[in-house]
Amino acid sequence: MTDHAHTNCEELLSSLSAYIDGDLGLELCLELEKHLAGCDNCRVVLNTTRRTLDLVHTPLEKTDLPKDVRERLFKRLNLDDYLSQKS
Amino acid sequence: MNKTMSLEISLEALIAGDRAEFARLVDAYSSPIYRLGLRMLGTPQDAEDVLQNTFLSALTHLPKFEGRSSLSTWLYRIAANEALMLIRKKKPEINLDDSQTGEKDEGLLPTQFVDWSALPEDELLSDEGKKALDSAIETLPESMRLVFLLRDVEGLSIKETADALNLTETNVKTRLLRARMLLREQLSTYYGERIAREERQ
């Protein structure tokens, strides 16, 4: 752990989300990366935030619409004629 | 997935009242809207109500759709409103006032610094791991959760999320950061305890 000023952590962490999304301006990006190189804690926060988002993308997408829910929805919308057309 | 599907759906046919086209729209968006309802309300029955009310409302308002936003953003806007209306009705004790959530600094400063990011995938995606993620998402305040679900789960852009929720892009970014930080914090607590437990064994 280096002896950098930890007062910067909070300010730089506010850019973390934009950094992860590739949405951060060059100057701030360089500043953040410089900070990350010397701050173990912020690096852990970055890595675990990225991992959190990886996990979010994995399990949730598998929740598809249950068949009976689709049937009731089509009936409610008077779309019974089109019930069989789902690929 | 949604973008490809939405491209294939003809807005002209929808507005003209083409039932087959509307059925295709329903099939393209019912899964993400059901998921949104499930995540916002917490029960399959309420999620189904959100889903049905969303498409009933869409059916009513389609003739007046002006195309100022994309069809998918428009549908998400209706679904978000339906979800919020149902929350107000079912859980009146919950404060949905925007000033109460998402704008304050609380929750941003991390306190957990266990690096669990290198844990193997099968451990992270175990039933227990998924449950930890699910309950972490459940604890996000409603207005923050909506932003998170649209942006990070359903993959809308910042602009689309802002349009769907009638927020500024800055507001979406602020809420998103807080939501991600809160989730990270909770998962870090969970995995920190798990790693410590395994080390003791």
Q: Among A62-71, B62-71, B152-161, name the most confident range.
A: B152-161
Please determine, for residue B71, whether its predicted confidence score (pLDDT) is greater than 90: yes
A45:B133 CB<8 A: no
Taking residue A80's Cβ as centre, other Cβ atoms within 10 Å add up to 12
Taken in order A78, B88, B168, A24, the sign of the CA dihedral is: negative
d(CA A23, CA B200): 41
Extents of the domains making up chain A:
7-85
B119-159 pLDDT, tens digit each: 998 888 888 888 999 999 999 999 899 999 999 999 999 99
What pLDDT is stored for residue B107 in this prediction?
A: 52
Report chain B's terminal Cα–Cα distance, integer Å: 44
- Determine the 3-state secondary structure of B159 from DSSP: helix
Sorted by sequence, the CB contacts under 8 Å of residue B64 that are 6+ apart come out as: none
What is the DSSP secondary-structure string of B47-113? HHHHHHHHHHHHHHHGGG---SS-HHHHHHHHHHHHHHHHHHHH-TTS---GGGSSSSSTT-S----
Please determine, for residue B179, whether its predicted confidence score (pLDDT) is greater than 70: yes
What pLDDT is stored for residue A59 in this prediction?
A: 54
Closest Cα in chain A, distance from residue B35 (Å): 7
Please determine, for residue B178, whether its predicted confidence score (pLDDT) is greater than 90: yes
Distance, CA of B24 to chain centre: 22
Looking at residue B182, its amino acid is L
Please determine, for residue B173, whether its predicted confidence score (pLDDT) is greater than 60: yes
Residue of A nearest to B114 (CA): A44
Sorted by sequence, the CB contacts under 8 Å of residue B91 that are 6+ apart come out as: none
- Residue with token string 């087959």: B20
What band does B2 get if pLDDT is binned at 50, 70 and 90?
Answer: very low
B23:A74 CB<8 A: yes
A69 contacts on B by Cβ (under 8 Å): 34, 44, 48, 51
Residue of B nearest to A50 (CA): B117
d(CA B151, CA B158): 7
In chain B, the domains with their CATH numbers are 2-90 (1.10.1740.10), 98-200 (1.10.10.10)
- Residue with token string 């109500």: B49
d(CA B14, CA B24): 10
Phi and psi dihedrals of B165, rounded to 5?
-105, 5
B133:A63 CB<8 A: no
A53 contacts on B by Cβ (under 8 Å): 152, 180
d(CA A49, CA B184): 5
Please determine, for residue A5, whether its predicted confidence score (pLDDT) is greater than 70: no
- Residue with token string 């308002």: B61
A66-78 pLDDT, tens digit each: 999 999 999 999 9
Q: Once rounded to an integer, what is the mean pLDDT over residues B183-199?
A: 92
